[in-house]
Structure 1
Amino acid sequence: MSFAGKVNNVAAGFRRRPLSVLVSLALMPAMPLAAEEVATSQLEQVVVEGDWLGTPSKENAKTYTGARNVVESEELHERAALNLEDALRQVPGVQVLDETGTGILPNIGVRGLNPLRSERVQMLVDGYPIAIGPYTNVGVSLFPVTLPSLEAVDMVRGGAAVHYGPNNVGGVLNLVTKPIPNEMEQTLRERLLIADGTGHVMTDTYYRVGGFVTDNLGLQFQANLQKGNGFRDHSDTEVQSYIFDVDYFLDDINELKAQLQYYDVTADLPGALSPAAYEADRTQSQRSRDGYDADMWRASLTWIHTPSDDLEFQWRNFAHDADRTFFFGQDLTSGGNWADPEGTASHVADSPRLFKVYGTEPRVTKQLGNHTLMLGGRYVREEVDFDVNRLELATGNYTSVREWDFATDAYAAYVSDTVRFMDDRLAITPGIRYEEVRTDYQDAISGAVSDNHATEWLPGLTLGLQATDDVFLFANAQRSLVPVQTAQVIREGDVANETAWNYELGARWQLTDNLEASATLFRIDYEDQIVYNSTALIYENLGETRQQGIELEGRWQATQELALGMGYTLLDTEQLTGDYQGNELPNAPRHHVSADATYEVGPWTASANALYVSESFSDAANTVDETANGSAGELPAYTLVNSRLGRDIPLGNDMMLNVGLGVNNLLDEDYYFRGVDVSPVGRLPAPGRTYMLEGQLSF
């Protein structure tokens, strides 16, 4: 096949059939189709990269052997979402705590796991780890992703631990950036966010140009600039993100894919409020000295070698050089909590973190009869400078409080074997992952040194059965590891390597051509779950905990114009050992109900979505009555409603303009959470009503 033919096939989704997704091809719903229709349907499931998850599409998710939701680009555009966190609210089992409204510091939790800094979900961008320290700094305190650059969001809650580790107790969140198009095309988007009440404005400018410039070379450039103020005082924010992609076919069996990104953010952080200040004006700030500054260079390079139809080799490499600093006021003179919002700052601290990370991961997939074998390994090197400095405002003295250096070498190896039976309707995949993490620590001030060494075997088993043409059943069990984090070392308290067992049992039904439903039972048995006590400023080992529940979801294409969806999660959490035995876990609401509707007629699209989240606790002690400074207490239930109206306007010469008006938090719901990073005491207000004006020109 010529390169031109290959490139054309890429655009149509027919490039090749990676072995790692043969299972999902075999387990596609066996609808009554003609032979040629079956072949076409199978080819549409093909993905460019031969990884375990396969194509991030709704169709592929239907036969995945675990709970999985894919939010595609059109939905991201129509949900009237402020940011990525907002776009994920409709996914069953996902808890979002929106700290800024700008998306720069996401707080995403899954199935009762702590959402603060998204610490318990493995975040990937195009399959590469995005955590600033993939092993020892899994909290997302630097998030180089903006919503306009994404093609899809793939939330995999089970069945992926063998192939993606180690921090995946809550699953794998793969953020898929926009691919290089077949033909040269450009996109220009401008968006205005206007906060109701304060009138603060945030501009969001996005530009993309890309395509195949020759038969075998594709290039793409994306730029996203965000500037303005969030919904609160002291929230000035500026973001720059530039992404350059290359896709090069050396010949018919070798392909190179590369991406280079520069991301920079500077922001004032309004922080938490005391209960009294919150009731007086939730848009004010009592933390005038808090801020955030970060930048990152990211690079990835993948070689894909396919010498035959039954063998594929990938060699994935990634690296980043990052620098992030929080600035925060401290009251070290009054004897109270240093982070009391109503306190007067005596000092301003800064906590710079410098990260240099490199990773390499070769993997090979081989088909042998009804077996599909996948074998891979990974090495990651992390070098971290972990400093804290303090400025005394009265004297101007600037001192170094901590100068800690960490060096981590992490090794992983994994193998899985997918065996297909019953005319490919049944697939069973046993697998195992080995993780070894060695971290050396040195205190440059005191001279103290120590090391931490963790090794774990992490087995997993997935099963998928196409029981009938309309019913797909799945089950899985997996074990995961979260190594000791550097942030845990710097404070007093109990720390340990965390391990957990995850279990799922689920089914998907195609009830009619226009109606589908799914149900998933899940359970997480956690050992040594570590949480941060924002009142005592220490990490606590809750010991064994349990999260279990059910996730229900349904979609109905009611008419050609109207589509409806609903979701429900019932979550039951319990601390099984320790001082808080019998209590619920923090930030783990019991009920999560979502609904959405989309109506399309001609060039117009109207959409609305609603979410209800029940009350929850903010601490392990399950404190109900709020403390005087707001450090603990029950968190309120809330209901969010978003809506958007958009119209496509053809301009001729293959140019299309889409204009839209949206309202986020239409009812101006008043709700909050607590315990965020450098402002852990008080109520952290979530965004109020926000108006959106946007226009996108594609040509």
Structure 2
Amino acid sequence: MKRLVLPILVPTGFSLFLSTPGLAVETELASILVSASRTIQTNPLTSSVISVITREEIERSAAQNLLQLLGGHSGIQLTSLYGDGSKATIDMRGFGPSAGANTLILVDGRRLNNSGDRAAPDLNSIDLRRVERIEIVQGSAGTLYGNQAVGGMVNIITRRADAFSVKLAAGAGSYDGYDLYADLGNRLENGLAYHLSARHRESDNYRENNQTERDDYNLRLDYRHPQGEVFLEHQRVDDYQQLPGSLFEAEMEQDRRQSIAAYSGDFSDLESDISRIGLQQELGGYWSFEGEVTRRDDQRSFQTSFRTTPDSVSTQDREVLGFNPRLIAIFPFAAGEATFTGGADLERTDYALQTSFGPQLLDQSVNAYYLQLTAPITGWASTTVGYRHAEVENEIDNGSGSGVDRLDDSVNAAALGFNFTPAEDLRLFVRLDQNYRFATVDEHTNVLFGQPVGIENQTGTSYEAGVEWSRPELRTLLLLYRLDLEDEISFDATGFVNTNLDETRRKGVTLESSWRAYPTLTLGGSLSYTDPTITDGAFKGNRIPLVAARSARLSGDWRFSPQWSLVGETVFTSERIVGGDFSNALARLPGFGVTNVSAHYRHEPWHLSLRIDNLFDKEYANSGSAGFDASFNQQAAFFPAPERNLWLALSYQFE
């Protein structure tokens, strides 16, 4: 058992920061619904740094996926193997190759992350046309959201049907890509609503042997009554991708779009069904109840080969059951209104991986219980306190013939924060939040090289402090943070072993600002510095791979008529260590700067948009890892990013 102890005398916390990610902002801070307290509130008094991307901003960006939308957002680094939004990960606080297990991704509060295995969240399951807003919480959210909410959290809120509407959309772009979409929704007078959508997308993509085909179907039924709401939703995803693999530097110089012969048969074919029922119910007085039951069933076949040896087809099956009940009370307090949240996150995973090297079988239970209180102390100060207890039980069969291994553990985490507003346009904040991540089955065991079962679970503490200055036409945020981890879980490619890094530390600073220069023109920018260092153990003093020390973004949003808008951004990223290279000995990923532009025309019921990514045709790689050549010599391998590419989309909606 591991216990995290909260220093009682440390005054910590962080402020509510409601802003846009460098796109356009309104003259005044509008009322925005957020659910970072695990219930929907309007401008809640909470110790959280939250940025919100609204529906209008999503449309003006003309982004087709989260990779395009979030690229360059302050505090976020993204890696993508193929540049089409698939096989992409969102990295907050500098985790590099393990970012997919240290940044929590939610859809309407439902986890996309896998607790049982290391497969990264499927970001392409999120169709931006279905998204109402995106909430980004910087820094740990370990007390309220638990496992894997280490570097930060992204919650995607989908749209709801409030009146009759039909939408038809089509898009086409580079690499023979095309997209068809339709949705139908209505809310009846009796409170019952339905919303259906269907999408088909195909593309050859930038690389050879990288064709993709995806079908996505969604259904939501809900019923609103005076005391609450009940809902039922289901999503079906069929996703087929060819996998072109990585290239060494000499191969990129020869042809950066190629895929070597060893990977010619590699693919991934996923069928996923996700069902959820939920309830929101007022209980009288100050209390209400919310809860959801979720079932996710993933069935995947795939082939991922070595350079010297083509692999055979493997299968990966995953069933996840979740139950997330919570009680919320919003009640009068000494200087205003306080919010109390208490609940449980109960999850069961059955997982089976079958490869030519043997099986990985997992039966896992994760049970967690939490409490959080956010309350005003005075008219200009508030505090947030929280506590969570979590337990994990693993039954693992790695095919060794020794039977089932049990690996159980528990962890406690706590949070304390303060938020000060000494003036109407000034906010100061400090915060401490403890976090944790439970090891997955593929980290506990390695069927390829016979690594013994068992690795320590990761724990840590996040410290943050900053200041926000806000005027009607100028908004600026300065944020300082430090994240200390023990037993950070990672993969050392030099030894082909899963490992615990004894102690690691991340220090950083983020500066972002948005200026409404004219009524129709908004300029924005951000600078981020991150120092992720291994502070103890065999790799002491080395940097965490795949994390840029410096990143920056400049953006502009010009709405030059009621119908037309033009958005542009330039994103800069410094060089990085390639994934798995904890010795910091291999060639590095060079830094790069990329410019993207989009134009959007809106004249109801028509919407027309054009987006051009990598406007100046920059040749760069967004990701890389330590690899082995035919002689088993190690060298850096890269995943080339697309050169200049465009996407044109048209939609028609009638009500």
Is the deviation greater in 134-143 or in 686-695? 134-143
The equivalent residue for 2:299 is 323
Partner of 2:129: 148
Question: Does residue 1:126 correspond to 2:108, yes or no?
Answer: yes
* Counterpart residue number, 1:75: 57
Secondary structure in 2 matching 1:348 = coil
Q: Deviations over 1:427-446 (max 9, x none)?
A: 21111000000010124562
- 1:107 alignment partner, SS class: strand
Deviates more, 1:356-365 or 1:71-80: 71-80
Aligned AA for 1:185? Answer: S
> Which letter maps to 1:155?
I
Structure 1 position 477, deviation (Å):
0.9
- Counterpart in the other structure of 2:625: 675
1:269 to 231, 243, 256: 243
Corresponding residue of 1:336 = none
Contact 2:374 2:385 in 1 (8 A): yes
- Give distance in 1, aligned partners of 2:652 and 2:249: 45
Corresponding position: 1:606 with 2:566: yes
Cα RMSD after superposing both structures: 2.7
* Counterpart among 624, 631, 649 of residue 694 in structure 1: 649
Structure 1: give runs of 5+ residues left out of the alignment.
Answer: 1-25, 30-39, 195-199, 330-338, 390-400, 626-631, 651-655
Query: C-alpha displacement at 1:209, in angstroms?
Result: 1.5
**Bigger shift: residues 79-88 or 592-601:** 79-88
| Structure 1 counterpart of 2:458, from 498, 501, 507 | 498
Q: 1:490 to 1:143 in 2, by over 3 A?
A: farther
- Counterpart check, 1:663 vs 2:612: yes
**Which residue of 1 is the match for residue 444 of structure 2?**
489
Q: Do the aligned residues in 1 keep the contact of 2:521 with 2:556 (CA within 8 Å)?
A: yes
* 2-structure distance, mates of 1:568, 1:183: 42
Residues 46 and 614 from structure 1, CA distance in 2 versus in 1: closer, same or farther, beyond 3 angstroms? closer
Per mean C-alpha deviation after superposition, the further-off stretch among 115-124 and 234-243 is 115-124
SS of residue matched to 1:528: strand
Q: What is the one-letter code of the residue matched to 1:378?
A: D
| Equivalent residue number for residue 394 of structure 2 | 439
Question: How do residues 508-527 of structure 1 correspond to structure 2 at under 5 angstroms?
Answer: 508-510=468-470, 512-527=471-486
Provide the rounded CA distance (Å) in 1 between the counterparts of 2:58 and 2:437. Answer: 30
Contact 2:320–2:349 at 8 Å: present in 1 too? yes
| 1:639 aligned partner, one-letter code | G
Aligned residues: 614
Report the Cα distance in structure 1 between the residues aligned to 2:243 and 2:140, rounded to whole angstroms: 37
Counterparts of 1:591-602 in structure 2, within 5 Å, are 591-602=550-561
Q: Displacement, 1:73?
A: 2.4
- Cα deviation, residue 318, structure 1: 1.1
Instruction: Report how far residue 503 of structure 1 moved.
Output: 1.3
Q: In structure 2, what is the Cα distance between the partners aligned to 1:154 and 1:212?
A: 25
Deviation (angstroms), 1:297: 0.6
Other-structure match for 2:317: 354
2:78 to 72, 91, 96: 96
Supply the distance in 1 between the matched residues of 2:548 and 2:473 (Cα, whole angstroms). 32
Deviations 1:236-288 (A, max 9, x none): 10011111112202x31131022110011001011101221111111111121
CA distance in 1, matches of 2:206, 2:643: 7
Mean CA deviation greater in 158-167 or 481-490: 158-167
In the alignment, is the contact (CA less than 8 A) between 1:110 and 1:121 conserved in 2?
A: yes
Residue 381 of structure 2 corresponds to 426
**Aligned residue number for residue 288 of structure 2:** 312
Q: Which runs of 5+ in 2 are unaligned?
A: 1-14, 19-27, 630-634
1:263-317 alpha-carbon deviations (Å, 9 max, x no partner): 1100101110122111111111112121111111111111111133511111221
Q: Which residue identity lines up with residue 496 of structure 1 in the other structure?
A: E
TM-score with structure 2 setting the length: 0.88
Distance in 2 of aligned mates of 1:260 and 1:450: 35
Aligned pair partner of 1:219 in 184, 194, 204: 194
The alpha-carbon distance between structure 1 residues 69 and 521, as it changes in their structure 2 partners (threshold 3 A), is same
Aligned equivalent of 2:362: 406
**Residues 583, 677 of structure 1: alpha-carbon distance in 2 compared, 3 angstrom cutoff:** closer
- 1:271–1:27 distance in 2 versus 1, CA, 3 Å: closer
| Residues 316-370 of structure 1: per-residue CA shift (max 9 Å, x gap) | 21111111233122xxxxxxxxx33xx4x3x423332111111111111124541
**Compared with structure 1, are the counterparts of its residues 283 and 415 closer, same or farther at alpha carbon in structure 2 (3 Å cutoff)?**
same
Q: CA deviation at 1:418?
A: 2.1
Q: Shift of residue 78 of structure 1? A: 2.9
Deviation of 1:45 after TM superposition, in Å, equals 4.5
Return the match for 1:192 from 149, 172, 184: 172
Deviations 1:81-138 (A, max 9, x none): 452122111211211112122223222211211255622111111001112x335446
Q: Where do 1:331-410 residues align within 5 Å?
A: 339-340=306-307, 343=308, 345=309, 347-370=310-333, 371-389=338-356, 401-410=357-366
Counterpart contact for 1:363–1:376, Cα < 8 Å = yes
Distance across 2 between alignment mates of 1:237 and 1:213: 38
Map 1:51-66; keep pairs closer than 5 Å. Answer: 51-52=37-38, 54=40, 60=43, 64-66=46-48
Map of 2:632 onto structure 1? none
Are the aligned partners of 2:143 and 2:415 in contact in 1 as well (CA < 8 Å)? yes
The alpha-carbon distance between structure 1 residues 41 and 513, as it changes in their structure 2 partners (threshold 3 A), is closer
The structure-2 alpha-carbon separation of the partners of 1:676 and 1:93, relative to structure 1 and needing over 3 Å to count, comes to: farther
Which sits farther off after the overlay, 91-100 or 560-569?
91-100
Q: Percent identity?
A: 23
* Structure with more contact order per residue of length (Cα contacts < 8 Å, sep ≥ 6): 2
- Amino acid of the residue matched to residue 534 of structure 1? A
Under a length normalisation based on structure 1, what TM-score does the superposition of the two structures give?
A: 0.83
Structure-2 change in CA distance of 1:77 and 1:135 (3 Å): same
Correspondence for 1:248 among 223, 229, 233? 223
Aligned residues of 2:16 and 2:49 also touching (Cα < 8 A): no
Query: How much does 1:681 deviate?
Result: 6.5
